Chain A
Amino acid sequence: MWSAILSPDFFSTILRSTTPILFATLASSIASKSGITNMALEGIMLFSALFGVIFSSLTSSAWMGLIITMVIGGLIGLILAFFVLNLKTDEILAAIAINLTATGGTVLIMVAFSGDRGVSSSIKSISAPEVVIPLVKDIPFLGEVLSGQNILTWIAIIAVILLHLFLYKTPLGLAIRAVGENKDAAESVGISSRKIQYIALVLSGVLASMGGFFLSGGYMNMFTKDMSGGRGFIALAAASMGGNTPVGSLLVSLLFGIAQAFANIMQLTSMIPYEIVLMVPYLATLVGLAIFYYGQKKKKERLSGK
């Protein structure tokens, strides 16, 4: 078991399984920062996984496929924003509607496009490339982990930095946080909360769509029915555990990825019933969440002088 854990493959698995969760967690973070829970991440990821396959095939380019998918992801974010902000629909109900549409809609679109219902294997899609880093790849162990990862894994990590800078160093980022903290106070200084929340939800949709694209164009190389597998919901928990900050999102997603890779190794040696092993990632997240909020509570108590 230890030889399996200490192998470069183990660390590659961590990065690979972290990537889609990380994109979705960032997406959830930015929406929550603006004061809206984006529960439609699951549906956006599922749609994006399918559209990634379809458009990379139609344009014969992974990059064009990714860009079109991101536009569609942003559009779904826009639709959610329209329902929530203009039509005053409950944000959870609107999101459930999008998620349900995605499970049926992806199959419908796949049938219309290729005649398949379960798997998109007849669509010749193009996956995002893997990055071989010169010099680094020759370093023993580390090279095997870092080099050869999918480019979207690196984009996810860059997105953490960019999103951090955006939220904390730009006026628009400040406005998003202000609206999320107190809508009325933000309105009173002339910020249009509706406009800000529109922007946040569109960005959230774009980020989630990159996670969805990775599922079928990097992680796997085809679309399979319902392949988002609940990652959009895990991301909601992960984001709130990470305090809805980009860096927090990265740490929690990594924790989840590590637990996932660890669970895979545990299954291999099958010492513990698999039902328990499959709980490990969720259990780790839950325990982390409890520790985090306990720390928060202590901090609050200290600040209020009790």
Chain B
Amino acid sequence: MKKKLLAMLLCAGMVVSLAACGGSGEDGDSSGGGDDVYKAALLLNGTLGDKSFYDSANEGLTALQDELGEDKFTFKVEQMGATSADEAKWEPTLYDYCDDGSYDVIIVGTFQMLDALSKAAADYPDQKFIYFDEQYDFSVSENDNVYNVLYKQNEVSYLVGAAAAMMTTDETLPYVDPSNKVIGFLGGMENSVINDFLVGYIQGAKDIDPEIQVALAYVGNFYDSAAGKDMALTQYQNGADVGFNVAGSAGLGQIEAAAQSQKYAFGVDSDQAALLPEYADYIPTSALKNVGNSLIRAIKADMEEELEFDQTEYLGFAEGGVELLEDDHYSEVVPENIRTKIEELKQQITDGEIEVPTALGDNAMSNDEIQELIDSVKVK
């Protein structure tokens, strides 16, 4: 008797919860915000405080809110965590926000969110999404509800490569052995964004000095800083004078390796000289993506209903999507003749005189071409 009662209660519970699910789904479909406030949700597959991308996105939205006022624009940040244990909740969280339906736009980024977003965008045709820092495949669904923003990291990386190539033979620099022409690159793992960094870096270096050699290593993940340090040490011990890390926190290993070997390492994604003041002497400057700027730009366009939700945009120097940080520290570490040349190159890129090869988009190099470029600068 007791068991029967329990079973009935359970059944009743299930029916009620099913009904609740259905209900919330309907709410989701009649979405759109309703009132005049534009609401954005920023879902991070990581946490704030990375002093990089995610902070940049948050700062951009905060700046926009300050500019327009809370009666025009509000946003919510959801920090979902980055570890493998957190991965399982990325997709359900995205769906929760889609179900909610009160957000004008949901913002997600990085290649790790691609699968979840592709599904959600197909299931919620009326929900608008902004997707940053990885190519979105518009062929997966017929809905025009994703605006895809990418950064021309190849452009800023081109400048880093050019600077590295000039620095590695510069006799005036304290931490350089001008006798060889080797520079290093430490990647997290191979994907199209990292490749985009890489091809820009190699081309920038080659355009300065066709005989340049690039030592290349991948950590295999974005968190094992000790392994990254060992790989970078190996590069420095075998002739590299200047390195560039694009490996998340594993890349911090390269900066320690640079300090230990008394060499140089360019920073990425955040001002790493400011982040690591003890090692600042070894960090000429950092290459940045302005995620915040790009979000402000997109949301403002959407408020005017001028943002097209079926396209991929690439933002480079011309649109303020990327920058090579040029602060006092940069002037202190990098000699003036190199800085002048970098400024020239930047102008030429902005004007379209130099076209930097890319691993993204319609003009992307094929894998064979990328491999050919890597082989052309192989360490001998």
Contacts and interface: CB of A to CB of B under 8 A. Distances in A.
Pairing of A with B: yes
Interface of A: 4, 7, 9, 13, 16-17, 20, 100, 103-104, 107, 111, 115-119, 121, 215, 219-222, 224-227, 229-230, 260-261, 264-265, 267-270, 274-275, 278
Nearest to A214: B226
Contact of B234 (A111, A115, A227, A265): A265
Contact of A270 (B49, B256, B374): B374
A16 B250 CA distance: 17
Contacts of B238: 4, 268
A226 B83 contact: yes
A268 B249 contact: no
Contacts of B61: none
B220 A220 contact: no
A20 B226 contact: yes
A119 B231 contact: no
Interface stretch (B153-161, B210-218, B294-302): B210-218
B221 interface: yes
B127 interface: no
The bracket for how many chain B residues form the interface is: 35 or more
Interface string B229-259: 1110111011000000000011011001000
Given A117-B50, A224-B223, A219 B229 contact: yes
Given A100-B85, A119-B252, A119-B275, A278 B49 contact: no
B342 interface: no
Contacts, number: 111
Given A111-B49, A270-B374, A229 B276 contact: no
A224 B252 contact: yes
B83 A103 contact: yes
Pick the 6 closest A-B CB pairs, nearest first: A117-B49, A229-B224, A226-B223, A267-B217, A224-B225, A224-B249
Contacts of A7: 237
B276 A278 contact: no
Given A226-B83, A267-B217, 7 more contacts: A4-B237, A115-B49, A119-B249, A229-B223, A268-B217, A274-B218, A275-B190
A9 B240 CA distance: 14
- Majority SS at the chain A contact face: helix
14 contacts: A13-B233, A16-B230, A116-B49, A121-B277, A220-B256, A225-B249, A230-B224, A260-B230, A264-B217, A264-B230, A268-B215, A268-B234, A269-B379, A278-B220
Contact of A268 (B51, B277, B278, B379): B379
A267 B237 CA distance: 14
A226 B256 CA distance: 17
B47 interface: yes
The listed residue with most B CB atoms (<10 A of its CB), out of A117, A118, A265, is A118
A135 B218 CA distance: 38
A296 to B, nearest CB: 31
Nearest to B222: A226
